[in-house]
Every structure is written in structure tokens, then in C-alpha cells.
Structure 1
């Protein structure tokens, strides 16, 4: 079944019918586990690419939970520097075809990649937000897409992503003003559509759709690889760069 760009542009997200190779998904899960396993032994430069649960604000957890968190990673930045499996993901046909179809262009570049982890029982929630405008790796317009590879699938108890369908239908100027004035809508935690998907599913996210997700209350890991792709003709206006930034998506 082909990608449904009409659903994406109407709703602000879409689960893609194409997926990545099973062997590659297994490699990526193993890579994430290996990065987590050696987090406490990494060099200072390597650890600088990681965001740890314990370093984030508003943890408000008990002493026992704090000990459990230990070196639990929330975000792995620049995962290609840790394992070549993430480079292989950039060459995946499903990634390329989805970005080409949804952005209606062959001249595409990668902005960044990361892995977001919600650990069993204490993985944190992510509040409602838009990806445009963003303080990190953002072009001048919203003509880009985030592709999310759900390595473990998503269910409600795992902190699955929720979307507020249609919330992206607004001019870029309005989204910029909303960010500037701090007037972002704050729907209830159970608003919108909760996305359930199987392990290995690919989800495309419009940069202006409101989305977020609860904490991981389950006994399962929730590891998602997030890849941002934009037009080669629409350069980033923010200053940050990663090793993959500007790499053509071929």
C-alpha cells in the first residue's frame, strides 16, 4: 500500500505502510542497548551527546526511583557517532521514499537524528508541543518532516505518542507568534488520538501538529529513532549542526 500524503496533510501525522528491514531494526535495538550499557564508562565527549534522565528538570521522584534512574539515557544525540547501524538507516528506502512523497521533492537533506528512550516504569512524559518553530535545527519554514521509527512499537502504558489532528493547519507566522508569546495551546493529557503501532513501525510527523505522550508505566522499553529531513533549498536558521546535518538523502 502506498504512503497516504492526503491523510498526512489533513491530520498532521501518518503511520507509514512501509517499514525498515527486520535485520536492521534488530541491529538498531542492539545498538541502543549497547550505548546504554556503557554510558557510565564513556568519554566526556561521548557523554556530552547524551541527555540523562537524572539531569532533566521536574523529576520529582523518590530516592528509590532516583537510584533506579542512575545513568538512564533519555536522548542519544548523534547516534551515528556511536554505531554504524544508524548510518544504514539513512540509506533505508522506506525513509527516502516517505520523505520524498511527503515533501514532494527529490532534493532533500538530513537535519539531525536522535534516539528518545522511555525506560520501563520511570520513562518521563513529553508535553504537548510543535516541532516548528524549534530552537534546535530549524529552517525558516515548516517545509520539513520528522520520521519516527518505533523500535519497540507503542501502546498507551508505554507512553505512546498522542496527536491532535488538524492542529497543524495554521500559517507559519501564527506558529512563530505562538512560540514567541508563549501562547501554545495546552490540551488535556488524554486529548487527541493515541497512536498504537507495532515494533518497527514508521510514523511521519508534521512539524506544526501538536503532539506529546505520557510516561512509561509498563515493563517494556520504548525506544524511538527520530530523523528530521528538509529541503536542500531551505537552510537551517539555527546555529547547531551535527555530523549528518546537510547530508543528502539518497
Structure 2
């Protein structure tokens, strides 16, 4: 498996704290990866509120909250390696805050503008602090042409930047998952930040696992290739950091704050 690892010789947590992201030294098991891919493809063919499409298109853009109704996805939430990584980076017990799969269809998958995830969680949900972590699992190989995630290394230490606060709480949640996001960092601001915070594309084979900070500035480009790019994101929040009164749908913001217990299998 190949994945971007610029932190050779630096511990996972040290790399995460310094750069705002890190690559796990392990990947998802092939059998589990195949099972998750199969379930994602099946869910993508269903019609339900949790399935989001590209604007004016029948191309699937994202799936949300799959763990709430699919046992394979629910089992992935409890994967021992994933849970241990989340607990290590957050620094204590965690619960699942958000489960999503971002899908970029061949030649059709659209960009995600520059933004910070914590802007949505703070302004829309009332999350007190960015004491959470995103764990990304590549369901497909990610290469420069199929719309990889690009992060501005170290930008997580800046707090919230840009014009993110312009979006008002209570907006249609679809504006939080489209190519026209409610809370963004402008292209001009991102270019300025990139001078001190070098952009890094997060590349890797199917099954590669990467973690990144809620406040890191990131984006991804259109998929200009013939290869699908699907990445599954598990967001874990510190149990002590749960929003008091989230308003967005439960498939976007999990209400159950019970600490996740690591376990194998689907039972």
C-alpha cells in the first residue's frame, strides 16, 4: 500500500500535532475493505435523504449516517485500529460524531472548496472546541487526477479563519454538503495561507488510513480521471465535547454520545 507519509521518524501523534494530519502505519484489512465497498455501492443505489447527489445530476456525491442502518458500516465504527487512533489523537474517550462517504464519480465528481470542518460543527451544531478527529479511509486508490484531498499543513493551529462565519445557523443542511458550501475559506485567503502552510495532497491506495484535524484548511479538486474516488470519513468527538443542542439531522450529527468500544465483527 502506498500513502503520502512525509513524517518518517516522527510519531503519529507528534506528526498530527505538528502538521494537523498524519498517515496511519496500517491499512484496512482487504476483506473488510471489500465488504465496506460493497455496502457503499449498494447504498448508493437507494433513494433516501442520506444519499446526496451532485447539483442538477443523478451522480451520487455523498452518503451520510450509514452506520445507523448498515451493520458493516456500524462494525467499522468499532474497528480496534480506528478507535485506538481516534482515542490517541483526541486524548481520551470518543464517540462517533459523523459518518460519511464522499464519492467523486469518474469525470463527474465535483470539488470541495477550501474550508474547515470545525466551522460547520461550531457554527451549525454548537461544538464547543475542536477536540475531535477525522479519520479518512480510502475506498479507492487516490491519485492526483481523481480529486484528492489537499491540506494546508499546520493551518490547524490558526483557529477558524476566512469568512466561515457568514453562514447562518439553520440553513438548509444540503448547503453543508454541496460544491457550494455555506462556510468557506476564500481562494485568496487559501493562497496566502499556503505561503507558510505548504499544501500536501493526501494520496494512497485503497485501504489507506489518514487522520486530520477539524481546524485544518483543506479542499479537493474535480475528478478529471476515469477512476472513481470514494473516501469514507469517520469523525470522532471527545465525549466531554458534545454539542448541547444540535439541530441538524441525526444522520449528520450523531446524538448518541456513548463512548465507542473497540470490537471486531458485525455483532
TM-score (norm. length: structure 1): 0.81
Q: Distance in 1 between matches of 2:29 and 2:145?
A: 26
> Who is 1:16 aligned against?
24
Residue 137 (structure 1) shift: 4.8
> Who is 1:223 aligned against?
230
Q: Is it true that 1:113 corresponds to 2:124 in the alignment?
A: no
The 3 A distance-change label for structure 1 pair 249 and 136 is farther
Cα deviations by residue, 1:114-159 (Å, 9 ceiling, x for unpaired): 1110000110011111111215555110111111111112111010
Cα deviations by residue, 1:68-120 (Å, 9 ceiling, x for unpaired): x4x22111111124531101101111111110110111x21111101110000
The 3 A distance-change label for structure 1 pair 94 and 168 is same
TM-score (norm. length: structure 2): 0.76
1:2-151 mapped onto 2 (5 Å cutoff): 4-36=12-44, 38-39=45-46, 42=47, 47-55=48-56, 69=57, 71-105=58-92, 107-134=93-120, 135=123, 137=125, 139-151=127-139
Residue 242 (structure 1) shift: 2.5
Residue 35 (structure 1) shift: 1.9
Q: Which is further off, 7-16 or 236-245?
A: 236-245
Residue 20 (structure 1) shift: 2.1
> Who is 2:219 aligned against?
212
Cα contact 1:3–1:17 (8 A) shared by 2? no
> Who is 1:249 aligned against?
260
Matched position secondary structure for 2:43: helix
Q: Distance in 2 between matches of 1:231 and 1:153?
A: 30
Cα contact 2:146–2:227 (8 A) shared by 1? yes
Matched position secondary structure for 1:23: helix
Cα contact 2:113–2:184 (8 A) shared by 1? no
Residue 194 (structure 1) shift: 1.2
> Who is 1:152 aligned against?
140
Cα contact 1:8–1:14 (8 A) shared by 2? yes
Matched position secondary structure for 2:156: coil
Q: Which is further off, 110-119 or 18-27?
A: 18-27
Question: How many matched pairs?
Answer: 224
